[in-house]
Structure formats: structure tokens, C-alpha cells
Chain A
Amino acid sequence: MEQTWKQAKAAFAAIAVPPLAWLLLFFLVPMAVVWVYTFGENSGPTTIDFAGTFSNYTRALEPLFLEIFAKSVVIAGITTLMCLVIGFPVALAIAFASPKAKAWLLLLIMLPFWTNLLIRTFALIAVLREQGYVNFTLEWLWNNASGFMTLVGLQPLGEYEPLTLLYNNFAVIVGLVYVHLPFMVLPLYSALDRMDRSLMEASLDLGAGHLKTILLVVVPLAAPGIASGILITFIPALGSYLTPDLLGGTDSQMIANVIERQFKRANDWPFGAALSFLLMYLTFIAIALQALVQRRSDRRS
């Protein structure tokens, strides 16, 4: 039973004041200041007038920036989809593994999540660059194939052209999938692990194949877990800064990179503030959509 705060005012004050004061002073106030900035105007190199203007928002909705927003959503969407396609079978396998294997596999999935994001991204650079391991492997295969073709008397394949795997949209998506895969696997796993297995057995007994069982029984049952996996992957992917910054080229900048530029190089804080609040609103829309799916599935069951 919960106590009302009036029953123990002193205890309530002692417990509630420190976290609430911190949240207010060091989170809500900074956010509120940025929100006020979105209606401001640069009046000098370091001064901002609170002009009450909407011009920052109208500028943010110009085609150039809308395109970047759209691109960020598309890149985050593809990332989420890839994570789902890779993560679902992995989560399924882990959920149905033996208890001992399960613990190890979960640890193995989580461990990269504990390592530094920057280091993981940096590790990917070494793999993807033109002098990297992927290109090395491909070159080796190419040369062997070429040698084989001369052996059987065909025209050799010619010089190997290294693939450009880095500094483009492809690299950004690979990087985002690499970083966010654990975010997807863990909620999927916990949904699949809780699922009533007798339903799957019934489906298999009644003659449905594995694929059919998974699509028609497992996926609907795990829908809330899938929805939260999608959300938990999509949100950080949408706002990611480091991955597009390090792995992307000039045309693969996402919205966070534009925001950073406004604050650091372009020194247009009010505009950057407006962009960052638009990104925040997009995030909230994604959360609201997920809550809607959740509520619908709760009502059904």
C-alpha cells in the first residue's frame, strides 16, 4: 500500500527534495532555456534577443532541412528494420536455448553494449575502409578466382578495385546496426522468453510448419516486445550523432550533425535550438505511436 505524503511529511521531504531539485535545476531548466531560445534571435555574436519569433521554426521547415529530417527518419527506419530482421532469429534462438547457454549468449550480446560507442565505431572504420579487412578478404577471393580462371583457360579478372564501404550512407547504416543490435535483441528476447510455449507446440502439432507458426503465432504474441524493441532502437538511431559524423560522407549527415553545427561552428543557437526541439517532438511522436500499439494489444488480450 502506498502512503500519502501527508502521513509522513518529514520523511517525504527528505526523500523527495534531492532528486526533484536536481531534476528541476539540471534538467528541466536547461531544457526550458533551450525551448525559450527557439523563439529567439541572434542580436550579436554572443547575445540572443527573445524576440518571440517563429522564424527559426519556419526556417527549419524549409525543404533543405526537411530533407535532412526525412533522411534521418529513413536511415533510422532502415536501421531498425535491419536490427529486427537480424535480431528476431537471434532472440528466438536465445530464448529457446538451454539455461546455461542462454546466460552466456545474453552476456555476449550485452557485452559490446558496455564497451564505448566511440571505440566500437572506430573499430568499424578499420574493418570497412579501403585498406580494411573486408576489402582485403574480397581482394584475396578475387585474386584466387582470377587465378582459377586463368588455370581453366579463361580471361583473368583483372585488377581488384577496392569497394568504397566507408564515408557513405551504407557505412552509416552498418554502423548504426552494429551499435543498436543489442537494443533490439534484449526486449525481443524478454518477450519471447515469457511467451506461452504450449501455443507454439499446439500450432506445430496441428500441422503448421515452423515458419507459419512463427509468423502467425509467435509474432502476434510477441507484438508488444517487438514494438518496444523497434522504439528502443529507432529513438537513439534517429538522434545519433557520432556514427554519421565518423562513418558518413558529406551527403549522409543526419539531423544531430546539423544541430551540432549550429551550436559549434555556425553559432546560430536559436536555429539549432529549434531543430533540436523538432527532433524531440519527432521522438515523442514515435513514443506515442508505440504506446498506441501497446494499448491496442493490451486490449486484445
Chain B
Amino acid sequence: MADQGLVSTPTPRLPEKEKREKPGPLEYMRQWPLRVMVGGTLLFLYLPLITLMVFSFNDSRRNIVWEGFTFKYYVKAFENESLIQAFVNSLTIAFFCTIISVVLGALAAVMLWRFRFPGKTVVEGSMALPIVVPEICLGVAMLVFFSRVMPWPTGLAWPFNLGAIIIAHVSFAFPFVATVVRARLASFNRELEEAAKDLGASEWRTFWDVLVPHMQPGLIAGALLAFTLSLDDFVITFFTAGPDTVTFPVKVYSMLRFAVTPEVNAASTILIVVTVILTAVGLQMQNNQPKEKKA
């Protein structure tokens, strides 16, 4: 703050009040056509989701007209064992996928940021492939791989039977993590690393005590991304899931094939709430990071 006094401003600032009364020429958010546009877009994005959530409490099978408040579809959803199993499977897969993706993604980011090596452009290019390849192509590749090249043993105990799905999810999630972490690494001051080494820290200590703390916001953002990507994925899972390894989206999909029941609304509402909470927690953790540093 003190520095700001040294910088001379050539023109005096406009009084704030004048701005408030009349929207400035560039304050597009304060002009009504754009307000209507933004409002309309948000309505378009949220109205379907909100009605879905509201009607999960509706006491009517027909799902359209409001007939009174009830929790019975939540009770039904919780009593539906295969639905709960699918939900638990989804969370388990997302959990393991996040851990493996963060480790692999961070390593890949450090590798690309720190080293010069032959074939680097090829590695960078192939690392970007899982991000751009259409989901359906990755899905069929996983189907072929796990049915012909490396069949995943069947009849394994939970959670090992989920291995194939976890592997498939990591394959498309960890390049996303690598991208996020690498963007964070770009702001790292390499002199810190040199200083640590000069002061006698080993390679490993430097990595763990200097580089990893700097990467942390990127790691959190990457973990959040990996978790939601995994939880959200339908297509790739659809091709790798077996009859006893159903995930939540695959289960909802098969329920939708039969009938659109309020039970699905209830289950969806739970998933939406879970994701929103996780996102909020993740964003909070990210926002707290720079504040701590300043202090």
C-alpha cells in the first residue's frame, strides 16, 4: 500500500459517486439488454436443475404437478440397494482416481517444467491427447483393452473389482491435473530451489519442502478437477463397467431406460448437493492459500 503513494497519477480520479449514478460507457453489466441476457442464460442453466431438485420432494408419481411435500422418494432411494452400491462405487472410484491422478499429474508437470530431454514435444503432444480425444473413442479403446489385451480379473473382492474403471478414469484425468499444476509451476522462483540446495537440502528434501508447498493450490485444483471428472463420467465407464461394477451415472442411465421416476430425482439431488459441497470446499481451500502466504 505504501508504494502506491510514490506512483504519481497524472489525472485526478473521478469521484466515485458520479459513476454510481450513471453507468459508465463500459459498464455493460449495468445496461439492461445485457442484464436480461445474463439473467436469461442463468435461468436457462438453472431452471431445469432447480425444478428437478424441487420435484424430488413432490408427493406424486407423475412428477409434474405439485401435490405436497414428501421425503418418501429419498427413503426409497436409500432402500434401493443397487443404487446405493452404485453411489458408493462412484465415490470410491473418484477417490482412488483423484489420488493416482494427482500423483501422476504432479510428476508429469514437474517433468515437463523442469527437464529438457529428447522427444519432449512428442511427450507433450501425447500428454494432451487424452484431453482432446473424443470420449467415445477413449471409451471403445478401454473396452478393447480390458476385454482383449489385459482382461481385468472377474470376481475380485470390492473395491478391487473397480480397478479397470479406476485405471480408465486416471488415464483421462491425470493430463488435466498435469495442465493445472504446470500452470501453477510457471510462477515458481527457481532461486528458491537453488537456495535450498545451497543450504544443504537433498534433492528429495528440496522437492518435498520447497516445490510441493508451492504447487499446493494447483494440486488442490487438480484434485478437485480429477474428482469431478471421475464422478461425472458416463461414457468411458459405460464401456468399462461390468454387471457388478455399476457406477451411479450408469445406474441412473439404466433406470431412465425403464421409467423416469421421482426416485431418480432424489438420487440426482443427493449427487448435485455432494458435488456443490465438494466444489465449495475446494474453492475455499484454494482461496485461503494466497491469504496465508501474505500473512
Contacts and interface: CB of A to CB of B under 8 A. Distances in A.
A248 B41 CA distance: 23
B42 A119 contact: no
A124 B115 CA distance: 48
B48 A127 contact: yes
Q: Which among A2, A114, A239 has the greatest number of chain B C-beta atoms within 10 A?
A: A114
Nearest to B123: A20
A280 to B, nearest CB: 5
A2 B45 contact: no
Contact of A97 (B29, B45, B47, B49): B29
Contact of A131 (B64, B103, B107): B64
Q: Which of A18, A93, A119, A133 has the most CB of B within 10 A?
A: A119
Contacts of A29: 145, 149
Nearest to A34: B141
A37 B144 contact: yes
Interface stretch (B73-81, B129-137, B212-220): B129-137
B88 interface: no
A93 B29 contact: yes
B126 A122 contact: no
B148 A33 contact: yes
B134 A93 contact: no
Interface string A1-36: 111110010011001101110110011111101100
Instruction: Determine the interface band of chain A, counting residues with CB < 8 A from chain B.
Output: 35 or more
Given A181-B41, A197-B26, A280-B137, A124 B279 contact: no
A20 B167 CA distance: 14
B104 A19 contact: yes
Interface string B212-239: 0000000000000000100110110001
Contact of A132 (B28, B64, B144): B64
Nearest to B250: A118
Contacts of A101: 29
B272 A115 contact: yes
Interface in A241-256: 241-242, 246, 256
B41 A18 contact: no
A48 B142 CA distance: 17
A289 B190 CA distance: 36
Interface in A108-153: 108-109, 111-112, 114-120, 122-127, 131-133, 136
A243 B45 CA distance: 16
A242 B41 CA distance: 22
A242 B28 contact: no
Most buried by B among A1, A105, A112: A112
A103 to B, nearest CB: 10
Interface string B165-192: 0011011001100100000000000100
Interface residues of B, number: 84
A58 to B, nearest CB: 20
A278 B252 CA distance: 30
B73 to A, nearest CB: 14
A15 B111 contact: yes
B7 to A, nearest CB: 18
Contacts of B249: 116-118
B93 interface: no
A277 B168 CA distance: 19
B264 A122 contact: yes
Given A28-B126, A93-B34, A280 B143 contact: no
B253 A118 contact: yes
A33 B149 contact: yes
A38 to B, nearest CB: 11
A97 B42 CA distance: 15
A74 B168 CA distance: 30
B160 interface: no
A248 to B, nearest CB: 14
A126 to B, nearest CB: 6
9 contacts: A5-B115, A12-B117, A115-B272, A119-B252, A119-B271, A127-B47, A133-B64, A239-B137, A280-B134
Interface of B: 25-29, 33-35, 37-38, 41-42, 44-49, 51-52, 55, 62-64, 103-105, 107-108, 110-111, 113-117, 123, 126-127, 129-130, 132-137, 140-145, 148-149, 167-168, 170-171, 174-175, 178, 190, 203, 228, 231-232, 234-235, 239, 248-249, 252-253, 256, 260, 264, 268, 271-272, 275-276, 279, 283
Interface of A: 1-5, 8, 11-12, 15-16, 18-20, 22-23, 26-31, 33-34, 37, 86, 89-90, 92-98, 101, 105, 107-109, 111-112, 114-120, 122-127, 131-133, 136, 178, 181-182, 197, 200-201, 204, 235-236, 238-239, 241-242, 246, 256, 259-260, 263, 269, 272-273, 276-277, 279-280, 283, 287
